[in-house]
Amino acid sequence: MPAATRAVLRQSQFLTRRTVVRHSSSTSEAANKASQTASSAASKASEGLSKASAAAGPAISNAATALRKVGGPVGKVVSFVDSMIPPTVYYTKVGIELAKLVVRGQNMTPPSLATFQSYFQPLTNAFKNPATLRSIIFPSPQNFLARVRNASPKELAFAGVTAAEVIGFFTVGEMIGRMNIVGYRGETTHSH
């Protein structure tokens, strides 16, 4: 049999075989095969993750044990950080659960992208143009005086109440810090 005939015969057999394979599948068979492939990939990934965590777990615990044995200031810092991890994790979980309760109770939803853009657009514009940032941080005295003169009585009352709150909280903080209600103990004044 000549070589050209053999090549044509092989190619025709390949085409007929491929056609049969191509037409034999249906959508349900394809879906089953895809789900089997996905489940096998997921199981292989979980096996790999468990092997990696099993291998890394003893190494991490050995490193933590070695760091706990270090003395001096480094050992103190390591033991402090190590002692702060469980309460930090606990209170983080408590805060997340509390936030979930508040969000559900108040029927809160996250803001839309347009709302975010409208709030942060002036900030991004200020960073793009630093001259405007300077005018925001350090307003001119004329503009400040004009704003105070044009303020409504409601705005002035709000500013006064806020100032009284700040002064009150500062005073209470000072009393707590001194552990005394009246004045600091100071040196007696010397007369010359």
- Name the average pLDDT for the chain: 77
| Angle of CA points 81, 87, 89, to nearest 5° | 90
pTM above 0.75, yes or no: no
What percentage of the chain has pLDDT greater than the value 90?
21
Q: Which stretches does DSSP call E strand in 67-173?
A: none
Domain ranges of the chain: 52-109
**Among 5-19, 101-115, 171-185, the least confident range:** 5-19
User: Is the confidence at residue 83, as pLDDT, over 70?
Assistant: yes
User: Is the confidence at residue 178, as pLDDT, over 90?
Assistant: no
Letter string b/e over residues 107-125, b meaning 16 or more CB atoms within 10 A of that residue's CB: eeeeeeeeeeeeeeeeeee
User: Is the confidence at residue 129, as pLDDT, over 60?
Assistant: yes
